[in-house]
Amino acid sequence: MQKTPMIFLMTVFLLAGCNNAIGESKDETKNETTASETASVQEEEVASSADKNQEQDELNTPVEDTLTDEETIQLIIDSETEALEVFADAFQEDETGLSFNESFEEILNRIEAPLSERLLKNIYDNPGYVYEYSYTFPLADQELPTNYRIVDSNDQRKVYVEVNLYEQPTLFEYTLEKEEDDWLITSLNSLHTLSDAYRLLGYALDASPDELDIVDIENPTFEDYIERVVNGEKYVIETYRNHYRTKFFHVDPFTGTVYKYDVVTESTEEIY
């Protein structure tokens, strides 16, 4: 009769110990699970942060340009050659004048060269540009020119090139813009040489070059011309008439605008 309480107490004690052990085991398992989940979440946050940083780095890193200067010029040559062939194939001249026998959409679909739609539409709207294409596609079917210069700025590339047209050196400026990973030719402008500036001044003053008596005639190189354009400078022409007072004129090599320059006030007045 005395053993029963003792056995009962021992049984209770053992059960209590087991329960404590089970509780501790559960706590340890719970702690291990919580720690594992926490570590997993931290790893995911670190991975997510790394992915975001990588994405941001990719956005901040400029797209690597794989075109060399010569390849850029060749791209223009090939593009103009292809476009000229397509336009010439659709070109027609009849009693109504100059036109194309295909719609603009049809011509546009046939041209795979990286020329902007706006540039091509301007040519389509002016068929005469194809009739006399030397100034429309100056590099079409040409060899790599001797004189050219390329100036990059962000996602834009300016290409300055000298082409011999009608036995005269003629300057052109192309604009290429980056679209995704490709360069797109978006504009073409002819630039005025110093000889052009003298001729334009003659028009402005209604005088022949001989009557202008130009002082200190320059002989600029291709690089001199382009440096003026890149820096936004104008040609400065000093002249006098009938050995009477010297006058100065400025001519914009990009637009061909002629200005009269006042030395005293250092101001300009557009005259042509």
Q: Once rounded to an integer, what is the mean pLDDT over residues 160-181?
A: 92
Mean pLDDT over all residues of the chain?
81
Which residues face 142 on adjacent strands?
A: none
C-alpha distances (whole Å) from 191 to each of 44, 55, 213 are 59, 42, 24
Q: pTM value? A: 0.72
pLDDT at 227 over 90: yes
Nearest-Å Rg of the Cα atoms of the chain is 38
Number of H helices, E strands in the chain: 8, 11
Q: What is the pLDDT of residue 179?
A: 86
Q: What is the pLDDT of residue 43?
A: 56
pLDDT at 7 over 50: no
Which candidate, 160, 179, 91, places its Cα nearest to that of 130?
91
CB-based contact 100:44 (threshold 8 Å): no
Q: Which residue has the higher pLDDT, 199 or 219?
A: 199
For the record, the structure tokens of 155 come out as 């996602």
Q: What is the pLDDT of residue 13?
A: 40
